Amino acid sequence: MDIYIPPKFCVYHTIYRGKLMPPNYFGSSTIQRVNEGYRGSVKSKKYKTIWEKELTENPQLFETQIISIHYTREEAISKELKIQKIFNVVKNPLFINLSYASIN
């Protein structure tokens, strides 16, 4: 008898509808964490403080959608990195991401 183990990880897209930052952010996490309201962790000096303040004061400005699911964290990070490179998020003014996902 085979036991089904559901995927645990995901890549998500967070849309920010405010005016203080770009509107898009790609990240990866666990499906459960995203379903519980996780929107992402911005580390850049440029946006970190704004991101955290907006999440606290204006959570209604954020919407997060899971765009792919994966069985391992490595698969999720690899997919996140592919998507980030397709959109060239580091140089694209439509993205909050100022660095690419790190596989290691």
Q: For 39-73, what is each residue's pLDDT tens digit?
A: 999 999 999 999 999 999 999 999 999 999 999 99
Mean pLDDT of the chain: 96
CA distance 62 to 40: 10
Nearest to 8 by CA among 25, 32, 28: 32
Contact 97, 26 (CB under 8 A): yes
Query: Around Cβ 101, how many Cβ atoms within 10 Å?
Result: 20
Quick check: 103 pLDDT over 90?
no
Nearest to 98 by CA among 59, 54, 40, 55: 40
